[in-house]
Chain A
Amino acid sequence: DTGVSQDPRHKITKRGQNVTFRCDPISEHNRLYWYRQTLGQGPEFLTYFQNEAQLEKSRLLSDRFSAERPKGSFSTLEIQRTEQGDSAMYLCASSLAKGKAGSNTGELFFGEGSRLTVL
């Protein structure tokens, strides 16, 4: 088990360019989350998937952001027309929801993050 992996670890781009991040969760985990972390702050929830279904998007996620998890395994987060305010660490996490209600044990396993710098 290699844990949650994210790629790339660092991305520097010019304003207006598109970027895509990939997350590979722990293989048996059915939930996948994207968080954003800016300097001096804790992670902020962006969106999450249960299997391939995207079940919630934060209002932080503008129309320029899109996330997919096409086969319920890996996920991508794309940012179109990047702005300097998008500079942050993008964290992916996964978890295993169990039970009839899909209740979460609450333990999220985080990847090391993808750091985006928009110039």
Chain B
Amino acid sequence: GQQVMQIPQYQHVQEGEDFTTYCNSSTTLSNIQWYKQRPGGHPVFLIQLVKSGEVKKQKRLTFQFGEAKKNSSLHITATQTTDVGTYFCAGLSSTGFQKLVFGTGTRLLVSP
């Protein structure tokens, strides 16, 4: 079945450093969504990418969807302590069952 992997599994940065998490799907995706889950909280939707090669920005966050629509990345510039949490990508397969498959997640810790 469809699998979505994320790397790294965990990253610890100093406040002000940049951070990137990568998401790779075993199948072509029709779209990809990104979520953030704070410790003790629930996943919160950040953004959805639909087009091949799409790039979207939200303040310090930059999201990319690969040309082949099988991978994606989230880059945070100049991290802040408020960025702490686990970032998940979630892919919707372009064929077969329409269900979101969540990536394994990248846990980000930011030290002041």
A binds B: no
Binding site for A on B (CB under 8 A): none
Binding site for B on A (CB under 8 A): none
